[in-house]
Amino acid sequence: MLKIAILGMPNVGKSSLFNCFLKSRSAITSNIAGTTRDIKRQTFLLAGHGVELWDTGGFDPAHIFGDKIASFNMGAVQSCDLILYVVDGKVPPQDTDKRHILSVQKQNRPCFLLINKVDNENEVLSAYEFASLGVKDMFFVSASHNRGLDKLTQAILKHFKLKPLEAPQVQETPERIQVGIIGRVNVGKSSILNALVAKERSLVSSVAGTTMDPVDESVEHNGQEICFVDTAGLRQRGKIEGLEKFALDRTRKVLEKSHVALLILDVSAPFVDLDEKIASLAEEFRLGVVVVLNKWDIRHASFESILQTFKHKFKFLQHAPIITASAISKRHVPQIKDKILEVHRYFSMRISTSTLNKVIGEATERHPLPSDHGKIVRIYYSTQFASCPPQIALVMNRPKALHFSYKRYLTNTLRAKFGFLGTPIILLAKGKEDSINP
């Protein structure tokens, strides 16, 4: 997936442009310099192509975190495929901008210069003085008036030699998104629920097995109703006692009706095998997934170490977003709800047949299907026949010859093109005479 970073000085409109691309108010904007400090990342579709957009903090040596922000920003330059450097078109070119642009160019990263706040043609004429900053590709935009973004989008596609794809359709959002909260006993599921709904909805104690019946509570977030269901904490099968057998059965019934699983993992101690078994429930029920690393304030190891262990143990969740959180301090609790909405959008996505065939066709041209005992294996066409989660039929001459490794290659291709954050993709090989259904 392409990665694009937005850089620049404070108050030039970076976060406003970020929101324009996403068509939402995802990033907080204000006229206070230094509002954005951490790097915010979000995926979206640019003319049908999946893109990860990075909103960075403004370069400001006078800011208390100025050096740290600058360090983060240059790290973003190394990690991204294209830099959009933003300047204020109502202020003359600054030497500081030229220095930052030179730093970007020294790292051999392609850079577009965006002159923001250019609201009319007269301002365009005066904005040509920004050519002195030494960037060949200049674009005159206005985030507040949504001006110049179409031309910028076309330039990005041309730079990466991409053709616009038909935009995937998202089915109507349901009345509410059902989210099942799962995890071992005492990982903090009930505390996370209470933090998400901002009230003591679920009983919390240090006694393992406190939650037996599923506890549900609905909240509204960004105009969408989310229903959280706190399920009983699960134990090793040999340790399930009495009423907990019924609790396990009820947990499975909750997941049958869920769209997204909120997997809570306790990082105050190393992961255990049971964590993987519980996580596999999300895969079994074909749910979208958001992973929450809870108790981050008392984590047992560094972020890098925990992430490395997670990637090793939870290979089947590499597509899931990960959020470090603390139910006690409320760390990153709002971001959990943001991610649930984002994952559900991909969970509901429907790709047109023409777009899907184009992407699958290009994938098979790059890496042809292996033959079946010397006989050619061919995909005639592909079509998405269901969503929630996305389910795609590959109509073939030899459906039984589709190897799991090639299916994984096609799945990775679809993720690279469309994102599908936290969402399982179901690929079914079918013969011409087979009916297309789940």
324 is in an annotated binding site: no
| Torsion angles phi and psi, residue 34, rounded to 5 | 90, 15
422 is in an annotated binding site: no
309 is in an annotated binding site: no
Question: Which residues on adjacent β-strands are paired with residue 51?
Answer: 2, 44
Which among 336, 344, 26 has a CA at the least distance from the CA of 191? 336
- Beta strand 138-140 pairing with 169-170: unpaired
Which among 262, 255, 247, 282 has a CA at the least distance from the CA of 322? 262
58 is in an annotated binding site: yes
| Residue 174: cis peptide before it, omega within 30 degrees of 0 | no
- In terms of Cβ atoms closer than 10 Å to its own Cβ (0-12, 13-18, 19+), residue 293 is buried
9 is in an annotated binding site: yes
Q: Residue type for 308, please?
A: Q
Residue 267: both structure tokens together: 């990082």
Please enumerate in sequence order all residues whose Cβ is within 8 A of that of 290, keeping only pairs 6 or more positions apart, or say none: 260, 261, 262, 263, 320, 321, 323, 336, 339, 340, 343, 422
296 is in an annotated binding site: yes
10 is in an annotated binding site: yes
3 is in an annotated binding site: no
54 is in an annotated binding site: no
189 is in an annotated binding site: yes
230 is in an annotated binding site: yes
89 is in an annotated binding site: no
117 is in an annotated binding site: yes
55 is in an annotated binding site: yes
CA-CA distance, 47 to 161, in Å (whole number)? 13
How many other β-carbons are positioned within 10 Å of the β-carbon of residue 65?
A: 14
- Beta strand 169-170 pairing with 349-350: antiparallel
Please enumerate in sequence order all residues whose Cβ is within 8 A of that of 174, keeping only pairs 6 or more positions apart, or say none: 259
CA-CA distance, 379 to 394, in Å (whole number)? 6
| Torsion angles phi and psi, residue 344, rounded to 5 | -65, -30
295 is in an annotated binding site: yes
How many other β-carbons are positioned within 10 Å of the β-carbon of residue 389?
A: 19
317 is in an annotated binding site: no
15 is in an annotated binding site: yes
144 is in an annotated binding site: no
Residue 261: both structure tokens together: 């699983």
288 is in an annotated binding site: no
59 is in an annotated binding site: yes
**Distance in angstroms between the alpha carbons of the first and the last residue of the chain:** 28
Which among 78, 83, 56 has a CA at the least distance from the CA of 139? 83
56 is in an annotated binding site: yes
66 is in an annotated binding site: no
CA-CA distance, 69 to 371, in Å (whole number)? 52
Residue 288: both structure tokens together: 């979208």
223 is in an annotated binding site: no
310 is in an annotated binding site: no
153 is in an annotated binding site: no
Which H or E element spans position 191?
helix 189-197
297 is in an annotated binding site: yes
184 is in an annotated binding site: yes
148 is in an annotated binding site: no
CA-CA distance, 80 to 53, in Å (whole number)? 9
Binding positions for GTP are 8-15, 55-59, 116-119, 183-190, 230-234, 294-297
Binding positions are 8-15, 55-59, 116-119, 183-190, 230-234, 294-297
